[in-house]
């Protein structure tokens, strides 16, 4: 199952008057069904705000966001979100955590026990897909960070959401675990057919995972540049060392520095250091 996302001139302002924060202005983007899009950009440029708006957790100040052509009016089962901090229920096992929400939904909607059983089959399939079979009966506190995040992803996938929204989901993991998670999430993308919108601070992660990269800029928050990733659909870790990968990484990092004002800060710092150097040279003479 998959879906398109149409962001149509979206605006988001927090507060009013001179204190207003323009978190997002004139955001326009069409995300194709089953596309894997990654978002990068300086802190505060509105990445999480935009993701929350796609999820329906945050309202728009102006414009609209449509899923399969239908403007969204709030959260829905067609969209699932994974955050950096995996909020698992500590008193439930891995399997129970994955099944829990689905079972609640199945009961509250007056479904039959057959629905619950079907959900259990899906949970078992996800446990296998995420490589969690050997810890299915363990509790979250007994798992590593990477495993806990796999449980959180499996739980998000339980209702077969056509859209998976991920906000720095691997930000708290070490480099090696992250590499494993990258290949795993690409596998999930292929197997589940979901459209994935993935926010990260890590440009390398954005290139390795994405088919397209959206670079956002702050003050006001906006979409600055779109990059097509010039890598084949099938990826492997060695590609991170190829000239085209490194060239794109350099280009994106440079643009983030420019749009965040960091480049100006660095230039000022360099000038300051040069002045201090000159003064030091004068005093030692
Ligand atoms: N609920 C809120 N109330 C007021 N301001 C907010 C709120 N949420 C976000 N903002 C502001 O909107 C701007 C964009 O925030 P957002 O969290 O979307 O940025 P981000 O790109 O995700 O940053 P980071 O990379 O640090 O996670 C920031 O200036 C932030 O302070
Ligand atoms: Mg954020």
Work out the average pLDDT over 199-207: 96
φ, ψ of residue 103 in degrees (nearest 5): -65, -40
| Ligand 1 atom having least distance to the Cα of 52 | 18
Q: Look at residue 275 and tell me whether its pLDDT is greater than 80.
A: no
Q: Look at residue 268 and tell me whether its pLDDT is greater than 90.
A: no
In angstroms, rounded to a whole number, what is the distance separating the alpha carbons of residues 213 and 209?
9
In angstroms, rounded to a whole number, what is the distance separating the alpha carbons of residues 127 and 142?
16
pTM: 0.88
Rounded to the nearest angstrom, the distance between the alpha carbon of 33 and the centre of ligand 1 is 27
Question: What confidence score (pLDDT) does residue 107 get?
Answer: 45
**Percent share of the chain, pLDDT over 70:** 88
In angstroms, rounded to a whole number, what is the distance separating the alpha carbons of residues 97 and 26?
39
Closest ligand to C-alpha of residue 27 is 1
Residue pLDDT, tens place only, 79-90:
999 988 878 999
Residue pLDDT, tens place only, 112-121:
556 656 667 8
The protein residue whose alpha carbon is closest to atom 18 in ligand 1 is 46
Rounded to the nearest angstrom, the distance between the alpha carbon of 111 and the centre of ligand 2 is 37
Closest ligand to C-alpha of residue 41 is 1
**Percent share of the chain, pLDDT over 90:** 64
The protein residue whose alpha carbon is closest to atom 27 in ligand 1 is 43
Residue written as token pair 């601070």: 201
Work out the pLDDT band at 103, boundaries 50, 70, 90: very low
Which residue did the predictor score with more confidence, 185 or 118? 185
Which residue did the predictor score with more confidence, 87 or 234? 234
Q: Please measure the distance between the N-terminal and C-terminal CA atoms of the chain and give it in whole angstroms.
A: 74
Specify whether the CB–CB gap between 214 and 226 falls below 8 A: yes
| Ligand 1 atom having least distance to the Cα of 42 | 25
Specify the long-range contacts of residues 254-262, CB closer than 8 Å, at least 24 apart: 255/215, 255/224, 255/225, 256/40, 256/41, 256/42, 256/203, 256/215, 259/41, 259/42, 259/45, 259/215, 259/217, 259/218, 259/224, 260/41, 260/42, 260/43, 260/45, 260/217, 260/218, 262/42
Chain CA centroid to CA 210, Å: 11
Question: What confidence score (pLDDT) does residue 118 get?
Answer: 65
Rounded to the nearest angstrom, the distance between the alpha carbon of 187 and the centre of ligand 2 is 25
| Ligand 1 atom having least distance to the Cα of 41 | 21
Specify whether the CB–CB gap between 256 and 262 falls below 8 A: yes
Residue pLDDT, tens place only, 135-175:
999 999 999 888 898 899 999 888 889 999 999 999 888 88
Rounded to the nearest angstrom, the distance between the alpha carbon of 107 and the centre of ligand 1 is 36
Closest CA to 208 of 166, 177, 241: 241
Q: Look at residue 244 and tell me whether its pLDDT is greater than 60.
A: yes
User: For ligand 1, which residues put their CB under 6 angstroms from it?
Assistant: 14, 21, 23, 41, 43-49, 221
């Amino acid at each position: 199952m998959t879906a398109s996302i149409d962001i149509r001139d979206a605006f988001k302002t927090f507060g009013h008057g001179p204190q207003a924060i323009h978190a997002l202005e004139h955001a326009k983007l069409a995300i194709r069904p089953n596309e894997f899009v990654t978002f990068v950009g300086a802190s505060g440029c509105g990445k999480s705000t935009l993701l929350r708006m796609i999820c329906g957790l945050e309202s728009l100040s102006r414009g609209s966001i449509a899923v399969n052509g239908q403007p969204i009016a709030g959260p829905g089962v067609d969209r699932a979100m994974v955050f950096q901090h995996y909020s698992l229920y500590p008193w439930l096992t891995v399997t129970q955590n994955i099944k829990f929400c689905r079972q609640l939904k199945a009961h509250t909607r007056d479904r039959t026990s057959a629905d619950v059983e079907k959900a259990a089959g899906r949970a078992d399939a996800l446990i296998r897909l995420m490589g969690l079979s050997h810890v299915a009966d363990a509790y979250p506190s007994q798992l590593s960070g990477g495993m806990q995040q796999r449980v959180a992803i499996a739980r998000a996938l339980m209702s077969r959401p056509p859209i998976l929204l991920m906000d720095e989901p691997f930000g708290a993991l070490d480099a090696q675990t992250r590499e494993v998670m990258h290949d795993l999430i690409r596998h999930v993308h292929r197997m589940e057919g979901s459209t994935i919108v993935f926010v990260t601070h890590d440009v390398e992660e954005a290139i390795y995972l994405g088919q397209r990269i959206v670079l956002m800029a702050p003050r006001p928050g906006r979409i600055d540049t779109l990059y097509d990733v010039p890598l084949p659909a099938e990826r492997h870790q060695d590609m991170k060392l190829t000239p085209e990968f490194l060239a794109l990484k350099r280009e994106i990092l440079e643009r983030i520095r420019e749009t965040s004002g960091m480049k100006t800060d660095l230039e000022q710092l360099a000038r300051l250091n040069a002045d201090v150097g000159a003064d030091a040279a004068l005093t030692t003479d």
